[in-house]
Amino acid sequence: MSETTSTAGPSAGPSAGPSAAPAGPGSAERAAAELDATIAGIEHRLAAWAADAGAALAAMSGKVTGTAVDKLIRPVVEELLQLPGGYAAGAGFIANAGLLGPERSYIAWWQGPDLEHVDALANFSPNSISRYVKAEWFRIPVETGQAHVTGPYVDFLCTDEYVLTFTHPVFTRPDGPVAGIVGIDVTVQRLERGAMPALRRIGGRATLANADGRAAVSAAPDIDAGDLISPDEQCAHYPVGRAFTVWSNAAGL
């Protein structure tokens, strides 16, 4: 399978996909700005949610219960999942150890239009935190106190799909420990539907890649989501959100 990507390398680049040639000066820039607005929109929504959730948890002044967390989180998840044209496949909150009990986490996470409750059995476990501490989407925002995007990766815990997970730490005090994380799962499939038209306007081999140089969505038929890719030497780079880049002309490794 490796041959299919290497033979169609950079030399096949700009000429591939004649129908996808840039439509005019500035058109690629506008298309890239559109993609950036989509991803940054998800990130801003998440940051606002984290701030609201932190304030509400702080107001509970140490008496945080699972029921109270559900009540706080579920309406936001409902709004996110049922938003027409929205990107969220699943969303929720996961408590860090300490918020509800020493080794205890708490997951308030729902997925799909019918708001299926995810991993809820773990909430009956006294050591549920062990389930999340190693996961990149939990560990990094908790360790760094910064927002993070994980993936694309196969999500075994929730969706069983190929997804991106956007997570943001939640603070109850500005200088305090991380109380938990809020997050939004976006399936690569959903992202592909949203991003393909703009990528095609940027170029026949335009590709949205994560910080590791892995393709999330590509206009090139021989680059699949999950492939490691590299930008062509002369190609344009457009930042998309905090962690992604669009390369106007990419090739498989």
Partner 1 sequence: MLLSPNGASRSLAAVFTPIKSRGLVDEVCGRIEQAVETGLLTSGQRLPNETELAAALGVSAVTAREALSQLRASGIIRTARGRSGGSFIADNVLPSRERALAQLQDLSRLQIRDLALHYQAIAAACAGVAARRSDAADIATLRSFIPSANDDSASWRLALSEFLLEVAAIARSARLARELIRLQADLGTLTLLPCADAGYRGCTAVILEDVAAAIEAHDPGAAETGVKDLISATTDWLLTEQAKRY
Q: Please identify, using beta-carbon distances, which residue of 36 and 230 lies nearer to partner 1.
A: 230
Q: Give the residue from 50, 40, 132, 64 showing the smallest Cα distance to 92.
A: 50
Exactly one of 10, 14, 86, 226 binds partner 1 (CB under 8 A); that residue is: 226
CB of 52 to partner 1, least distance (A): 25
- Asked if residue 152 has a cis previous peptide bond (ω within 30° of 0), the answer is yes
Site for partner 1 in 142-201 (CB under 8 A): 152-154, 156, 160-162
Q: Please identify, using beta-carbon distances, which residue of 20 and 120 lies nearer to partner 1.
A: 120
CB of 67 to partner 1, least distance (A): 11
CB of 183 to partner 1, least distance (A): 18
Q: Please identify, using beta-carbon distances, which residue of 3 and 175 lies nearer to partner 1.
A: 3
DSSP 69: H
CB of 88 to partner 1, least distance (A): 18
Q: Give the pair of three-digit tokens for residue 114.
A: 């019918």
Residue pair 88/80 in contact by the 8 Å Cβ criterion: yes
Task: State how far the Cα of 50 lies from the Cα of 167, in Å rounded to an integer.
Answer: 9
Task: State how far the Cα of 31 lies from the Cα of 212, in Å rounded to an integer.
Answer: 23
Exactly one of 227, 240, 241, 247 binds partner 1 (CB under 8 A); that residue is: 227
Exactly one of 74, 139, 190, 214 binds partner 1 (CB under 8 A); that residue is: 214
- The side-by-side arrangement of strands in the sheet containing 207-209 is 215-218, 207-209, 244-247, 237-240
Residue pair 242/43 in contact by the 8 Å Cβ criterion: yes
Burial class of residue 66 in the structure, from the number of CB atoms within 10 Å of its CB (0-12 exposed, 13-18 middle, 19+ buried): middle
Site for partner 1 in 115-144 (CB under 8 A): 116-117, 120-128, 130-131
Q: Please identify, using beta-carbon distances, which residue of 51 and 68 lies nearer to partner 1.
A: 68
Please give the residue ranges that form the binding site for partner 1 (CB under 8 A): 1-2, 116-117, 120-128, 130-131, 152-154, 156, 160-162, 212, 214, 225-228
